[in-house]
């Protein structure tokens, strides 16, 4: 069994250290109240047993809490007091500098918490370590200086989660929709260099990748671009190629018919589109931004976003090539085609592509084949989104999320009375732990709503801290964002404040563990018809809170289904510490993401999507639903049936499958999760390889694909998933 030390390092559990610590406390009290060596041994063994029953690696602090309780359970209160006093004294000494040990341990690559914090960051790489080092310093400053004590205390207790505190010291925002159209059509500036409107599709793609990298280095969340903004450059290249072909024909002294010339032009144009798309895919995969990972980028594919029929046809060619290349994948260091994490792809299901016989159904079939093999694209239903995303003029809109699931709210520019989405952003996220609210109430319903309101007000306070941290930020802090078109065209030295109000940007109240919250309060899963009304009431209550805060501050607060990549593990550990192991509630090393059906609950794909659609509607700031499916590469018709169901029933959904490869034996199938001495490890079922550096594992984690492994909580959640099809 392993334990996690305070600096994050993982070491083997040693019962003799508990025996020694309790013996020292025992020897410090009067002989008349001392325990016997046998009692001390039994206390130590009971703690060891409790750790083993947890099913995960406990922290030193958790073990010491168990020791305290075990000593008191034996009635040795004087010994317990001595032990607690010693802990407190040591804690005071450590508080003089809480950051050095964590930084040193991550540099030496033995900080297990940091190593598994982000499924797309490799902590052995210098750039990642440098980002983590800066993050530890930022978290320390944030905790000690920048945030109110009550917010810090609630965050550390797992009552709320103040996201991305490793970036909070800087004036940085969360995620955005990049206004690529403005930057390409009107020019931009990158690193002090003027970039004018490109004169070909391939050049536009190259510039787009530079913009993606620059944006990623100036914010900490996801970003999204639309392929529609690249489509006009297809026609520019077409005209350029035609001039070149005409010139060649004149040089050869031939006069082919117009149809032949057009055929040559289109063949060359498709080759340029292939190169341009390849540039985006390979640049995104191979780029490393200042935070030590590939840009967290989502690429949006929406045919009806095109402004005319020619542009729509050209956009279709770009989408076709994007799907073709993503289906192929990228090569790993062994030269084997594997599934990359980014760019994330989103394909819009719409009237002229969702049914066989419609003009663009061939793209939908390609998308289905790509999903079955590479887990992307994900799907937005134009039909459902137009119903749910309605602006103040009564018009519905279809647009992409910012990254994996964070959605902007509908917005009409007061200057033009036109809808606006590209160029907008999210200010940040704070998440409420719904499970803790429920457990703190002891199943008393009146007390539940009272505690719920107290915790929501704490989130409100924390979110306003995020807002205030951005307020007053000058456009000079990130010129690519605020001055050169990605988000705005502000003057040098101009504050970004006007973009923080009136709905231009959003700020998100996240939530986690709706399933466990409802299960504890009602005794049933929220999929049960008797419990669902309470679940919907909880969701509405959070929406009402956001509405009240919006009216108070003129800031667009919005309810957001938190992805919980590593926080799921943190929340689970905090709940176990505060409330113990409660069957069906706190007995896992994770809690359920947002409103999702529990990963182990048997339910078919169609029922799951229809059920969760009700909750997406109440999660306007961000939501995504998924279904777990087996290998579907030989059953594309079933994938298409699911896609049609998504179109008719739910706004945003994805299909989860597996895409793994063992570099030792060449196994191309599902890498298994095994338990070894209380720890979950990944193992090739063919050769037994457990070296994570010698296998490629891709799993959908929180709306996006992870490829660098996960903490023990998320790994257990992945292991517990059941198939829905």
Q: Which residues are catalytic?
A: 174-175, 402, 404, 406, 426, 560, 565, 703
- Count the Cβ atoms, other than its own, within 10 Å of residue 75: 12
State both tokens at 652: 């945003």
Its sign, for the CA torsion 701, 707, 711, 716, is positive
Count Cα neighbours of 87 within 13 Å in the Cβ-side half-sphere: 18
> CA 292, CA 654: separation in Å to the nearest integer?
27
Using DSSP's 3-state secondary structure scheme, residue 345 falls into strand
Q: Is residue 312 within a helix (H) or strand (E), and if so which, with residue range?
A: helix 309-328
Angle between helices 77-94 and 60-73 in degrees, nearest 10 = 160
State both tokens at 105: 């341990």
Question: What one-character DSSP code corresponds to residue 512?
Answer: E
CA distances to 339, 591, 630 from 723, in Å: 21, 19, 7
> CA 432, CA 160: separation in Å to the nearest integer?
5
Judge contact between 527 and 448, C-beta under 8 A: no
- Cβ-in-10-Å burial (0-12, 13-18, 19+) of 551 comes to exposed
In the block, residue with structure tokens 């004149």: 250
> CA 160, CA 443: separation in Å to the nearest integer?
20
> CA 66, CA 38: separation in Å to the nearest integer?
18
CA distances to 29, 316, 364, 404, 623 from 652, in Å: 63, 21, 16, 11, 7
Judge contact between 259 and 286, C-beta under 8 A: no
Judge contact between 318 and 231, C-beta under 8 A: yes
Q: What are phi and psi of 681, to 5 degrees?
A: -130, 155
Judge contact between 277 and 205, C-beta under 8 A: yes
> CA 109, CA 102: separation in Å to the nearest integer?
10
Judge contact between 432 and 160, C-beta under 8 A: yes
Q: Strands across the sheet with 695-700, in order?
A: 659-662, 695-700, 705-706
Question: What one-character DSSP code corresponds to residue 708?
Answer: S
> CA 619, CA 625: separation in Å to the nearest integer?
12
> CA 491, CA 473: separation in Å to the nearest integer?
13
> CA 703, CA 130: separation in Å to the nearest integer?
27
Strand residues in 90-210 grouped as ranges (E): 160-162, 175-177, 188-190, 193-195
Provide the CA 503 distance to its chain's centre, in angstroms.
23
Could you give the residue ranges of the DSSP H alpha helices within 471-531? Answer: 479-482, 514-522
In the block, residue with structure tokens 């919250």: 517
- Cα dihedral 366, 222, 569, 609 in deg (nearest 10): -40
Integer-rounded Cα Rg, in Å, for the chain is 27
Beta strands at 188-190 and 175-177: parallel, antiparallel or unpaired: unpaired
Q: What angle do CA 371, 312, 286 make, to 5 degrees?
A: 45
- Cβ-in-10-Å burial (0-12, 13-18, 19+) of 516 comes to buried
């Amino acid at each position: 069994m392993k334990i996690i030390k305070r600096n994050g390092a993982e070491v083997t559990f040693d019962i003799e250290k508990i025996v020694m610590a309790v013996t020292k406390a025992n020897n410090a009290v009067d002989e008349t109240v001392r325990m016997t060596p046998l009692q001390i041994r039994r206390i130590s063994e009971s703690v060891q047993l409790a750790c083993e029953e947890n099913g995960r690696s406990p922290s030193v602090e958790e073990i010491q809490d168990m020791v305290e309780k075990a000593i008191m359970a034996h009635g040795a209160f004087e010994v317990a007091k001595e032990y607690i006093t010693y802990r407190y004294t040591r804690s005071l000494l450590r508080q003089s500098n809480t950051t050095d040990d964590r930084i040193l341990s991550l540099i030496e690559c033995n900080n297990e918490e940091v190593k598994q914090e982000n499924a797309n960051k490799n902590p052995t790489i210098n750039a990642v370590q440098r980002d983590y080092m800066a993050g530890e310093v930022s978290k320390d400053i944030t905790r000690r200086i920048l945030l109110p004590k009550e917010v810090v205390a609630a965050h550390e207790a797992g009552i709320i989660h103040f996201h991305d505190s490793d970036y909070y010291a800087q004036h940085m925002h969360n995620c955005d929709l990049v206004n690529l159209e403005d930057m390409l059509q009107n020019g931009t500036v990158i690193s002090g260099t003027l970039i004018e409107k490109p004169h070909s599709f391939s050049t536009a793609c190259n510039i787009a990748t530079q913009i993606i990298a620059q944006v990623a280095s100036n914010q900490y969340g996801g970003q999204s671009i639309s392929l529609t903004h690249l489509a006009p450059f297809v026609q520019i290249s077409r005209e350029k190629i035609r001039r070149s072909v005409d010139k060649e024909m004149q040089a050869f002294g031939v006069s082919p018919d117009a149809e032949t010339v057009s055929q040559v032009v289109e063949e060359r144009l498709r080759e340029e589109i292939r190169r341009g798309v390849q540039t985006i895919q390979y640049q995104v995969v191979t780029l490393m931004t200042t935070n030590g990972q590939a840009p967290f980028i989502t690429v949006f594919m929406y045919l009806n976003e095109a402004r005319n029929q020619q542009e729509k046809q050209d956009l279709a060619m770009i989408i076709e090539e994007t799907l073709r290349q993503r289906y192929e994948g990228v090569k790993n260091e062994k030269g084997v085609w594997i599934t990359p994490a980014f760019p994330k792809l989103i394909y819009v299901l719409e009237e002229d592509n969702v049914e066989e016989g419609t003009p663009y159904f061939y793209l939908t079939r390609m998308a289905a084949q790509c999903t079955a093999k590479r887990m992307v694209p994900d799907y937005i239903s134009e039909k459902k989104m137009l119903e749910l995303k309605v602006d103040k003029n009564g018009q519905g809109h279809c647009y992409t999320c910012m990254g994996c699931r964070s959605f902007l709210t509908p917005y009409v520019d007061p200057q033009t009375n036109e809808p606006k989405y590209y160029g907008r952003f999210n200010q940040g996220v704070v998440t409420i732990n719904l499970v803790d609210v429920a457990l703190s109430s002891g199943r008393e319903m009146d007390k539940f709503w009272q505690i719920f309101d107290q915790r929501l007000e704490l989130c409100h306070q924390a979110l306003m801290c995020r807002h205030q941290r951005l307020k007053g930020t000058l456009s000079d802090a990130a010129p690519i964002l605020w001055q050169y078109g990605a988000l705005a065209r502000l003057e040098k030295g101009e504050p970004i404040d006007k973009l923080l109000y009136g709905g231009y940007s959003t700020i998100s109240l996240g939530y986690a563990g709706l399933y466990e919250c409802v299960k504890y309060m009602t005794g049933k899963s929220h999929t049960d018809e008797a419990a669902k009304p309470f679940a919907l009431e909880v969701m509405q209550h959070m929406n009402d809170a956001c509405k009240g805060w919006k009216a108070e501050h003129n800031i667009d607060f919005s309810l957001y289904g938190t992805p919980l990549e590593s926080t799921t593990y943190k929340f689970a550990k905090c709940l176990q510490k505060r409330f113990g192991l409660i069957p069906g509630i706190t007995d896992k090393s994770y809690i359920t993401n947002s409103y999702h059906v529990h990963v182990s609950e048997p339910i078919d794909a169609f029922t799951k999507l229809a059920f969760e659609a009700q909750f997406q509607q109440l999660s306007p700031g961000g939501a995504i639903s998924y279904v777990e499916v087996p290998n579907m590469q030989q059953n594309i018709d079933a994938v298409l049936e699911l896609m049609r169901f998504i179109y008719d029933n739910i706004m945003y959904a994805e299909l989860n499958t597996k895409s793994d490869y063992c570099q030792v034996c060449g196994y191309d199938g599902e890498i298994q999760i095994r338990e070894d001495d209380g720890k979950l490890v990944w193992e090739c079922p063919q050769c037994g390889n457990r070296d994570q550096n010698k296998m490629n594992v891709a799993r959908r984690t929180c709306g996006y694909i992870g490829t660098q492994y996960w903490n023990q909580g998320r790994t257990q959640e992945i292991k517990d998933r059941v198939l829905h099809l």
